[in-house]
Each structure stands twice: as structure tokens, then as C-alpha cells.
């Protein structure tokens, strides 16, 4: 894939991103996590009851990576696996939390935003580092606009960075992540559960060859 063509597509899709709340009730919250075995991308998705944070459903998919990793273009490598895993869910989440940036991206289309467009659903980005911007008073500022929030979730650990993905405002994204936090876990529970499930799936495939 030509990087310049991908940049042009990102800039075009970024115009479609909605950074205001565009959903009704929030009953189910989803999370995804990706891992690799060789050139296969494993995507694990989980759906939790938003009130109790109990896991309602788990699904996964293993898909050949369509391209090598290029910083800033992770969606093109991982989204086919995420979308296949999401398609298997019987209970779709009302909002999906993605372990990547949303609009905190050089072209305002991190993986959380890109997936939101592809899936046509509300998404929130939670990352371990922003790809752009400057931290000021707990916010991430890009060109004098607040695009993300810095959240310290665990003592003696580095913070996480929250940004709108698609169809969610920054304030709502922050509120949802706060409500999904469980003591002792650095990441919100949907991502924590997805990460655990992804590790189990990866181990199972490596042991049994079931991909």
C-alpha cells in the first residue's frame, strides 16, 4: 500500500469523525485487544454489562495481516481482524473502547476513530501515549484545542490517554472510562478483559493450531 494514498484516505475519513455524543442508552460496553502469531493478527473482543462490568460475551478472529506495521497506520493492519471478531458478536456493544488513539493523531484519525467510521459505531480511544499534542493541566492540547485527557489510573504507573474515537464527546469518553475502572487495573475493564482473553486465545492457537 502506498503511504501517500493512505494519508489522503485518512484525511478524507477524518472529516467524517463526529466528536459529540451520538448514541442513546449505554447498556453494553465493548473492548478489543490485538496480538500476533507470525503474520496473523488475533483480535479478541469482549462485551460487558455497563452497570456491573460483568462479561456478557467474548469472540475472536485470526486474520492474515494485510500489511506491515507503519506508525500512524495501525488500523490498516489490525482492523480486518477486529471487524471480523465484532461481526461474530450476538450482543453488540453500545460503545467500543479501543486500545489506541482516537483523534489524538497527526491526521485526526487514530485507530479508535478509524474503527468507529468502519463499524459505524461510537468508539473511545485509550492509549499509553499520544501521537501528537502537548500535555497541559491534565489535558492534551493540539493547536490550542483540547483533544484528549490524561488519566492516572494506578499508583507508580504511567498515565493513560483518553480521546474521542467517533460519535462520542471528550467529556463522555472520560466519564465512561472512569466508570469502567477497577481498582488495581491500569486499563478500563473492557480493555483489561479483552487483553486477558486475547492472551488465552493466542496460547490456545499456539498450542492447538486452531486459527
Q: How far apart are CA 21 and CA 4, in angstroms?
A: 32
Q: What is the mean pLDDT of the chain?
A: 95
Give the total number of structural domains in the chain. Answer: 1
pLDDT value, residue 210 = 61
* Residue 202: partners with Cβ closer than 8 Å, 6 or more residues away: 35, 37, 42
Per residue in 73-123, pLDDT (tens digit) is 999 999 999 999 999 999 999 999 999 999 999 999 999 999 999 999 999
Rounded to whole angstroms, the Cα distance separating 23 from 25 reads 7
Q: Tell me, what CATH number does 115's domain have?
A: 3.30.2170.10
- Which parts of 43-138 fold into alpha helices (H)? 74-87, 111-119
Domain coverage including residue 79: 3-208
* Predicted local distance difference test score (pLDDT) of residue 2: 85
Question: What is the per-residue pLDDT for 12?
Answer: 97
1 confidence band (pLDDT: 50, 70, 90): low
Look at residue 51 and tell me whether its pLDDT is greater than 80: yes
Q: What pTM was computed for the model?
A: 0.96
d(C-alpha 102, C-alpha 122), whole Å: 11
Closest by CA position to 31, among listed 13, 56, 68, 66: 56
> For residues 206 and 57, what is the distance between their CA atoms, to the nearest angstrom?
23
pLDDT in the model for residue 71: 87
Beta carbons of 124 and 23 less than 8 angstroms apart: no
Amino acid at each position: 500500500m502506498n503511504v501517500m494514498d493512505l494519508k489522503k484516505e485518512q484525511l478524507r475519513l477524518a472529516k467524517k469523525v463526529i466528536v459529540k455524543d451520538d448514541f442513546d442508552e449505554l447498556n453494553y460496553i465493548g473492548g478489543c485487544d490485538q496480538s500476533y502469531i507470525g503474520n496473523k493478527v488475533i483480535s479478541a473482543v469482549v462485551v460487558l454489562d455497563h452497570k456491573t462490568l460483568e462479561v456478557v460475551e467474548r469472540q475472536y478472529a485470526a486474520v492474515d495481516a494485510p500489511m506491515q506495521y507503519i506508525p500512524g497506520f495501525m488500523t490498516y493492519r489490525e482492523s480486518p481482524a477486529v471487524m471480523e471478531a465484532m461481526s461474530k458478536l450476538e450482543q453488540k456493544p453500545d460503545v467500543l473502547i479501543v486500545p489506541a488513539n482516537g483523534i489524538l493523531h497527526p491526521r485526526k484519525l487514530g485507530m479508535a476513530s478509524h474503527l468507529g467510521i468502519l463499524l459505524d459505531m461510537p468508539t473511545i480511544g485509550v492509549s499509553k501515549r499520544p501521537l501528537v499534542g502537548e500535555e497541559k493541566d491534565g489535558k492534551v492540547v493540539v493547536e490550542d484545542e483540547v483533544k484528549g485527557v490524561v488519566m492516572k489510573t494506578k499508583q507508580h504507573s504511567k498515565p493513560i490517554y483518553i480521546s474521542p474515537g467517533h460519535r462520542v464527546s471528550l467529556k463522555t469518553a472520560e466519564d465512561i472510562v472512569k466508570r469502567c475502572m477497577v481498582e488495581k487495573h491500569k486499563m478500563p475493564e473492557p480493555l483489561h478483559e479483552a487483553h486477558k482473553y486475547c492472551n488465552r486465545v493466542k496460547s490456545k492457537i499456539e498450542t492447538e493450531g486452531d486459527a
